[in-house]
Structure 1
Amino acid sequence: MSPTITTTTTSITSTTKQDASQDLPQDIPDLQTYRATTKEDLIPGLRLIADSIAQQRQTAAHALIFHPFWLSAMAALIAIVYKALYTDSSDLPLIGTTSAGCVMAGLLVVRGLTGGYIEEAERVGKGEWLLPSRTNPKERGQGEEQEILVTKFGERIIGVVVLRGVPVPAGEKKVKMTGVIWAWTVERRYRGKGVGAGLLEEAVEMCRQKGWEGPVFDEEHANAKRVLPGLFNGEFERREKWARGVLEGVKNRME
């Protein structure tokens, strides 16, 4: 199948002020979405996916640090330090430095607890699942297909979606293919500008061209890993729900 290419003038660029020179030609890069088949397109797409996983560490750390449980624990620890060290006002500098040390130790604990996202990003970033043979049964299930769509702004890859066709039994000796989205991400600075929705539209269109059901998000998608207990994963669950809602909205619009 020939690559699907969508070209638009982009809303990504800021609206320029109109003045006397508005008739001068302006070079605004095109926004293109197409099927990636070369390393020049696949490698930047792979890096975007790995970066999106690494960015989850910051989200997890923020959720942990500002969770009432963690704040209460740190407050209790500082209170213990104060009670143990304070005899008169001359002890306040010592109490301050000791408390600061406790906070720094707590941040190191947070760093260690959320380090799993960096490890996962490094694993995904190696790219064995993406760059080798597209039919290697060791990399994906028997009979599965994989397509990678990227969005390029000028010469820069800013978005990627990985779509897999997964065979699903549908009765006696019948198998139907379902499109499953394993990865979907956009470079941070371009999020919220319609790039991600455009990628999903192309994924839906590709499923229809191939006669696949769906698409749906894979339960074990690239950003599904959780390294903290469920108590601290509320933000991830909200994002998960939002992403599935966006996909359903795209499918409904294209019906």
Structure 2
Amino acid sequence: MTVNVADLERHPEDPTAPLTTRSTRTVGWFGATALLPMVAAHVVGASVVDPVLDPISWYAFVPGGGELILAGGLILAALGLLLTVRMYRAGLAAGPVPAAAMVVFAVAMVLVGAFPTDPPDSATVSMSALIHRVSAATAFCVLPMVGLSLERSIRQPRSALPQGLRAAARALGTVVALFLVVHLSLVFFADSGIFAFGLIERIGFVIMIGFLFLLGATIDREGPAEDPGPLLALSVRRSAGLAE
């Protein structure tokens, strides 16, 4: 069995995964896995929660909904930490800002699921709901910081992705500012009174996962290429063995 030239670009931990898509594929798998419990929550609570008007948090009050929200948050938290490790290992991240921001993101995503909001008919705001709402807002705030910090640390970009990452980070920051105007109204008030809040929140989470995709693609494209020497030698030896 010979090793093709194309295989020389593959990572030794996963011989079937090209380096250029490794982190992107990771985001794809984690993102899809995180969406599964969210989709399941929408199905379970279809007759109770209006996806256009009501926040995602209200799925915590349907059977199994709280566990589904927590599962989605844990998966996205793990994804953020994994991408952070790959940023530093690839030499694309420098200083404490990217790591600190992503750790805050991960903790915030866990807190969102661990501390449910108040029931829809609640007249007051509990401490659990306060933690839940502030954590959700925090998760959206720190991601642009990760993207901008990563873009600044790439001195000699090999593609347009770092520039796109900067533009996306700024765009996400604008979306976050608009989202906070809406979201913070829920921090101290049980009902925002804002039409289509649920839809706005769901679009925000889709944008969050899209930004993680862009982070993964930037790591893949701008990270250092691995030395193909060992695989090349192995290919030559195996080819010689077959020739004999």
The TM-score normalised by the length of structure 1 is 0.23
Instruction: Select the structure with the greater relative contact order (CA < 8 A; seq sep ≥ 6).
Output: 2
- Comparing both structures, which one devotes a greater share of its residues to strand? 1
